[in-house]
């Protein structure tokens, strides 16, 4: 929700054309105000969240935790992170998040230089993303119920990548309407909406698979380590996003795209190189992530058996 709000503010308030900048995304003053507003909103959100949760979590636990030495803590971390399902899921999630980082960081370049969005298109773009998130929320349950999580995540990963790169391939092949027109932008929005629905399903499914890993690890080690696994997952997320940004920088540099260049002044071969590099990287990352997801060893029946085992053991000790 916060990211969508910032997109609304970016394209509708801060990065808009003015007398000195015909293209809003090339207005440096807009980025300064955008960053300042984003920082203020983050601070308000964090403080509000902490204040609302304080009365629920700011208390001593019912049972005093055992004292754990640093050596014991490291042993528990190593033991948990050796879980095969967790390692496979981290490989899949990290690769998928690298792909997501590449897409997000290159998106403005694509919309400006490849698809030549108008200001109206930039204003519609956040609404489209919001609609795709709602669509993913409605579909993720039926999809995972029908195909289970690993298969759903792997299929949606490839499907999202193929749908998203299809307009780029058609443009290179000369079968796409003239870019910058209403027909071109509207058609691209259709592809982007479908691809983003599938991409969000991958993210939701991948996060939910952490819960399966928690029970699997508990059966093996006798300890519940939700916090440890989710911390590892989010650490991998941050690292993967940073790697995605790095790869995007390499792609932009290889394509020869200069900073603050007006879309009308960019050479066609530069746009083609940018497109070609993105197609190859996006498809490669999608295939690698899919290979990891398909090897995730916990299915619905496996998870149900572990839940039953843990419930039985809990009943014996109570």
Q: Assign residue 83 the CATH number of its domain.
A: 1.20.1250.20
198 and 265, same domain (yes or no): yes
Q: Specify the pLDDT at position 224.
A: 78
| Distances from the Cα of 215 to the Cα of 109, 226, 302, 308, angstroms | 43, 9, 10, 10
Q: Specify the pLDDT at position 300.
A: 76
Residue 233 has phi, psi (to 5 degrees) of -65, -45
pLDDT single digits (tens) 136-162? 999 999 998 888 888 999 999 999 999
225 and 112, same domain (yes or no): yes
283 and 135, same domain (yes or no): yes
23 and 157, same domain (yes or no): no
Q: Specify the pLDDT at position 317.
A: 54
Q: Are 299 and 85 in contact (CB under 8 A)?
A: no
Of 14, 40, 65, which closes a domain? 65
Q: Are 236 and 94 in contact (CB under 8 A)?
A: yes
33 and 100, same domain (yes or no): no
Q: Specify the pLDDT at position 245.
A: 86
19 and 88, same domain (yes or no): no
Q: Are 26 and 262 in contact (CB under 8 A)?
A: yes
18 DSSP β-pair partners: 21
Residue 18 has phi, psi (to 5 degrees) of -140, -170
Q: Which residues contact 15 (CB under 8 A, 6 or more apart)?
A: 24, 25, 27, 30, 31, 34, 122
Number of domains in the chain: 2
> Rounded to the nearest 5 degrees, what angle is found at the Cα of 243, between the Cα atoms of 242 and 245?
65
Residue-range definition of the domain harbouring residue 201: 70-317
196 and 294, same domain (yes or no): yes
Q: Specify the pLDDT at position 9.
A: 79
How far is the C-alpha of 244 from the C-alpha of 124, rounded, in Å? 25
117 and 50, same domain (yes or no): no
How far is the C-alpha of 86 from the C-alpha of 308, rounded, in Å? 21
Whether the pLDDT of residue 315 is over 80: the answer is no
48 and 172, same domain (yes or no): no
Of 10, 45, 65, which closes a domain? 65
How far is the C-alpha of 7 from the C-alpha of 4, rounded, in Å? 5
74 and 58, same domain (yes or no): no
How far is the C-alpha of 287 from the C-alpha of 160, rounded, in Å? 11
> Is 116 strand, coil or helix?
coil
Q: Are 14 and 38 in contact (CB under 8 A)?
A: no
Q: pLDDT-based confidence at 1, cuts 50/70/90?
A: low
How far is the C-alpha of 177 from the C-alpha of 174, rounded, in Å? 8
Q: Are 90 and 207 in contact (CB under 8 A)?
A: no
Of 22, 47, 65, which closes a domain? 65
Q: What is the CA radius of gyration of the chain?
A: 23
Query: Which parts of the chain are beta strand (E)?
Result: none
Q: Which of 54-58, 70-74, 190-194 has the highest mean pLDDT?
A: 190-194
177 and 33, same domain (yes or no): no
111 and 229, same domain (yes or no): yes
> What value does the mean pLDDT of the chain take?
85
Q: Specify the pLDDT at position 158.
A: 94
How far is the C-alpha of 106 from the C-alpha of 124, rounded, in Å? 18
């Amino acid at each position: 929700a916060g990211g969508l709000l910032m997109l609304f503010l970016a394209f509708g308030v801060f990065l808009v054309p003015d007398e000195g900048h015909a293209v809003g995304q090339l207005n440096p003053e807009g980025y300064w105000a955008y960053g300042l507003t984003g920082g203020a909103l983050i601070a308000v959100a964090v403080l509000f969240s902490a204040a609302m949760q304080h009365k629920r979590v700011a208390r001593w636990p019912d049972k005093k935790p055992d004292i754990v030495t640093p050596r014991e803590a490291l042993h528990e971390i190593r033991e948990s992170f050796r879980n095969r399902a967790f390692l496979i899921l981290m490989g899949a999630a990290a690769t998928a998040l690298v792909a997501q980082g590449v897409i997000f960081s290159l998106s403005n370049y694509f919309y400006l230089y490849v698809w030549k969005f108008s200001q109206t298109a930039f204003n519609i773009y956040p609404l489209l993303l919001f609609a795709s998130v709602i669509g993913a929320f409605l579909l993720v349950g039926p999809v995972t119920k029908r195909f289970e999580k690993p298969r759903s995540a792997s299929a949606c990963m490839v499907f999202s990548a193929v749908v998203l790169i299809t307009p780029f391939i058609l443009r290179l092949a000369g079968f796409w309407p003239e870019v910058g027109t209403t027909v071109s932008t509207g058609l691209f929005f259709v592809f982007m909406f479908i691809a983003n629905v599938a991409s969000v399903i991958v993210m939701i499914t991948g996060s939910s698979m952490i819960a399966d890993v928690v029970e699997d690890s508990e059966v093996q080690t006798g300890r519940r380590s939700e916090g440890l696994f989710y911390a590892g997952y989010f650490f991998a997320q941050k690292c993967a996003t940073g790697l995605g940004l790095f790869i995007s920088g390499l792609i932009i540099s290889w394509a020869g795209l200069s900073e603050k260049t007006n879309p009308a002044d960019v050479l066609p071969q530069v746009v083609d190189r940018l497109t070609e590099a993105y197609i190859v990287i996006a498809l490669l990352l999608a295939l690698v992530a899919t290979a990891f997801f398909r090897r995730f060893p916990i299915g619905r029946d496996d998870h149900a058996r572990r839940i039953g085992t843990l419930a039985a053991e809990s009943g014996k000790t109570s």
